[in-house]
Structure 1
Amino acid sequence: MGEENFGLTEAVSMALGGMIGGGIYAVLGVVTQITRAATWFAFLLAGVFAICSAYSYIKLNELAVGDDAANNAGGSVTFVQSFTGNSTLAGMIGWTLLFGYVGSMAMYAFAFAEFSISLPGVPPSVGGFPLRPIISVLVVAGFVGLNLLGAQATGSAENVLTSAKVLVLVVFGLAGIAYALSVSSEPIAVGTSELASFDPVMAAAVSFVAFQGWQLLFYDQESITDPLETIPKAIYVSVPVAVSIYMLVAVVTYNLAPQAVRNSPHTALVEAASAIGGAAGLASAAAIVISLSALFSTGSAINATLFSTGYFAKGMLSDDLLPDRTGDSSESGVPERTLLILGVVTAAFTAYGSLSAITAFASLSFIVVFGTMSALAFTQRDAERITATWPAVGVIGGGLSFVLMFYHLYTAERGTFYAVLLLALAIFAVELLYFERDVIEEEIPYVTRDSETTAD
């Protein structure tokens, strides 16, 4: 791995790449099914919760790593260790986040393959084998290889990918509004009646995973020039931009392709683009452009998440929170073995795993962590330059989102609810076995001795 650093432009690209990825193509349909035309408001609420959590991260980072941020790994694990002194809790949060990131990357790879297959001339299977899993695995492998080239190659690629997808989505949104105002005979629906209900709040909880990409920057601090200044700027630019794009795309997609949003959410934007392009006789071309944008979006999301998760895992290795066999924390940049392991697990999940369950688990894990970081920041409210209001809003938003997310899964997706519950319990058990292994080993002789005495 290389040692080249990147600046504000690359940092903004990495944050946007982590937010405007699979979410805009997959989460949009789920959220719209909950709150219909008021989807834009759900994204606005989720953005408010995200920016409050971001404020907490920024302030905790200033307190935890200080002026030596460029040589320290920040983020949730560091904050928990610094402000609670509980390494076991910090490690369990770290492991949970790692599974959340792997689930997110698997979702992006899945969406990448689906949009690839939707392109003209691409068959759904080759030689009797479904093409979707093959493409998903190949795109993960490709971005693992890119990340092995170093930070500069990753940052440059992210600039290109993010610029392309943002441009396409902004043009799509503005053209859609123009189409709705000048061509469509129907008024633009904004879901005014839904704003007084609880649905947008529940939908905001479901969409929380779409706004987690900004916090990946805290794991990249050794690759960012002047991180204490660059990271806050990048976050305060990227989150509002992402929220604005989500809101614009939500309004256009719901109004131009309401049936597709309900029946085939993965291709709803393609249907909306076809309607816009159809006004100029370019329906097919518009559909292809938005499909290619989906490839840029999901690709950049894989790239940004993999790169930052690698640094996150390296920090955990340095703190002895991961087994030594998963990488060498003394390597420059992200350990190659760590990147390869992340790639292999992600590829396995996207090829064989239940993406609905792992993505729901990822959403819940981010909600818990964001709320916890806001709570930590609130406990430090007496520190200089920390305003208690924003962490308090983050705590309330995180707690409410967690409850509503579980309620939604239990009432609307009972199978996914049980799958997520079982997955959470399994991961929790593995974490306990790892972090409490010394205690368990000490207790085993006593358990064996007691069993032998009872037998006698």
Structure 2
Amino acid sequence: MAELKRTLGVSDAVVIGLGSMVGAGIFAALGPAARAAGAGLLPALGLAAVVAYCNADSSARLAVRYPASGGTYVYGRERLGPFWGYLAGWAFVVGKTASCGAMALTVGAYVWPGHAHAVAVAAVVALTAVNYRGVQKSALVTRVIVAAVLAVLAGVVVACLTSGRADAARLAGGGWSPSGVLQAAGLLFFAFAGYARIATLGEEVRDPRRTVPRAVMLALGVALAVYAAVAVAVLSVLGADGLAAATAPLADAVRAAGYPGLVPVVRAGAALAATGSLLALILGVSRTTLAMARDGHLPRGLAAVHPRFGVPHHAELAVGAVVAVLAATVDVRGAIGFSSFGVLAYYAIANASAWTLGPGVWGRVVTGVGLCGCVLLAFALPSEAVLLGGLVLGVGAGVFGVRKRFVGGG
């Protein structure tokens, strides 16, 4: 069986994780989360971060034990049995493929709003070509994107907090409800899920038992610091009601702060962030596809590794083709809602897998909180996302059962 090349270090893995997290949510998720949570936006962000930390800790401990491509697909299979590994892989591939479509459309909406679908498809084709040439090139492109996006976000924070229009009273102004905070936390969790990309690259990092846990925690810590700073800055200018009504929250915030000249820069940063997220998402989905194909849950041909570039080229081309179709047809809001449910299901299986690693009290507390948190946030999402997500997971379970009965294996 062909193996992938171990070429990534800690900084490369951190950058790939940040490329997913920073691009996936901060430019888009604050508005919907504010509509759900109102003045409870910051507590919702904190709750999402706690669940993300628990999931990251569980994922890191599992990655040390199983340093191979596939992430929770591998962990669930090894710790809980083939069905749970398969279900995790199914949730990840289907949910994150939908997320890829959403991110591609985000690129299109910011670059050329009148032709968002066409730009989205072009972005998918271009980034699939980058991934095809090798993971080191993907990491290099992601490093450049992350640096630029962080610079833009720093500009937003400084502009808002030093404008003279910031008011700390806006941070707690308005009402909120526990159910709203839970729903907002579920939406904001979408923005933290990028560290899964690090775990799915377990076969391509050097010294994975050391690199993966460090990279996961570093990426999560940086992302939380960035999100908290941006949320405080934007709330201080717009308030919860203004943020909830904003269609482009960060652009509206710098405009309200008195810096209209920064609006084009923020729009460009949003497009670049979504591009970085899309790049890392395609990378992660193709690696889980590779792992599932190796085990026969997907066509065996998808497990092929390119002899020159050392990447799962058939899987990358297949994922790119499916995402291109989605980018030409999907609705962004529906894709994000479904993706959030799939990601939380994926991490629920990761925490259940980590529970079996050992009797340590702290480890059990962390995995227990993570598991309960994933279930709670998943079912707090909008009802249409819960219904669609449950239906798709049920279809996946049915496919597994049929295959096991009539084909064998599993």
User: 1:99-138 to 2 correspondence within 5 Å?
Assistant: 99-117=94-112, 124=114, 131-138=115-122
For 1:247, what is the secondary structure of its paired residue? helix
CA distance in 1, matches of 2:84, 2:170: 46
Between 1:307-316 and 1:105-114, the stretch displaced more is: 307-316
Counterpart of 1:170 in structure 2 is: 154
Return the match for 1:359 from 336, 343, 348: 336
For structure 1, the residue ranges without an aligned partner over 5 or more in a row are: 119-123, 125-130, 411-415, 443-456
Letter in 2 for 1:148: Y
Deviation of 1:94 (Å): 0.9
Report if aligned partners of 1:361, 1:424 keep a CA contact under 8 Å in 2: no
Report if aligned partners of 2:246, 2:252 keep a CA contact under 8 Å in 1: no
Q: Deviations over 1:67-107 (max 9, x none)?
A: xx3xx3251111111112x3233223212210111111111
Letter in 1 for 2:39: A
CA distance in 2, matches of 1:347, 1:108: 11
Report if aligned partners of 2:348, 2:374 keep a CA contact under 8 Å in 1: yes
Note if 1:305 corresponds to 2:271.
no
Q: Deviations over 1:192-218 (max 9, x none)?
A: 775784432331122221111101111
In structure 2, relative to structure 1, the CA distance for the partners of 1:199 and 1:77 (3 Å cut) is same
Letter in 2 for 1:355: V
Report if aligned partners of 1:2, 1:149 keep a CA contact under 8 Å in 2: no
Report if aligned partners of 1:12, 1:235 keep a CA contact under 8 Å in 2: yes
Between 1:253-262 and 1:352-361, the stretch displaced more is: 253-262
Q: Deviations over 1:244-296 (max 9, x none)?
A: 2112222222332456633343x221111223353xxxx2x300111111122
CA distance in 2, matches of 1:256, 1:204: 22
In structure 2, relative to structure 1, the CA distance for the partners of 1:350 and 1:369 (3 Å cut) is same
Q: Deviations over 1:173-230 (max 9, x none)?
A: 1331222xxx227444222775784432331122221111101111112221212111
Of structures 1 and 2, the larger Rg is shown by 1
Counterpart of 1:318 in structure 2 is: 294
Letter in 2 for 1:425: L
Deviation of 1:421 (Å): 2.6
User: 1:53-452 to 2 correspondence within 5 Å?
Assistant: 53-63=55-65, 65=66, 69=67, 72-84=68-80, 86-117=81-112, 124=114, 131-179=115-163, 183-184=164-165, 186-191=167-172, 197-258=178-239, 261-265=243-247, 267-278=248-259, 283=260, 285-328=261-304, 333-382=310-359, 387-405=363-381, 409-410=382-383, 416-417=384-385, 421-422=387-388, 424-426=390-392, 428-429=394-395, 432-433=398-399, 436-437=402-403, 439-440=405-406
For 2:112, what is the secondary structure of its paired residue? helix
In structure 2, relative to structure 1, the CA distance for the partners of 1:428 and 1:323 (3 Å cut) is farther
Aligned residue pairs: how many? Answer: 404
CA RMSD, Structure 1 to Structure 2 (Å): 2.6
CA distance in 1, matches of 2:330, 2:174: 39
Letter in 2 for 1:108: M
Letter in 2 for 1:23: G
Letter in 1 for 2:56: A
For 1:321, what is the secondary structure of its paired residue? coil
User: Under a length normalisation based on structure 2, what TM-score does the superposition of the two structures give?
Assistant: 0.90
Deviation of 1:60 (Å): 1.9
Q: Deviations over 1:12-69 (max 9, x none)?
A: 1111111111311221111010112332221121011101111111112223x2xxx3
Note if 1:37 corresponds to 2:11.
no
Report if aligned partners of 2:20, 2:193 keep a CA contact under 8 Å in 1: yes
Between 1:350-359 and 1:299-308, the stretch displaced more is: 350-359
Letter in 1 for 2:249: A
Counterpart of 2:48 in structure 1 is: 46
Between 1:13-22 and 1:91-100, the stretch displaced more is: 91-100
Return the match for 1:22 from 21, 24, 32: 24
Instruction: Quote the sequence identity (%).
Output: 22
CA distance in 2, matches of 1:423, 1:389: 27
Q: Deviations over 1:372-395 (max 9, x none)?
A: 221222233326x96222112112
Letter in 2 for 1:155: A
User: Under a length normalisation based on structure 1, what TM-score does the superposition of the two structures give?
Assistant: 0.82
Between 1:198-207 and 1:231-240, the stretch displaced more is: 198-207
Report if aligned partners of 1:57, 1:373 keep a CA contact under 8 Å in 2: yes
CA distance in 2, matches of 1:55, 1:153: 28
Report if aligned partners of 1:2, 1:151 keep a CA contact under 8 Å in 2: no
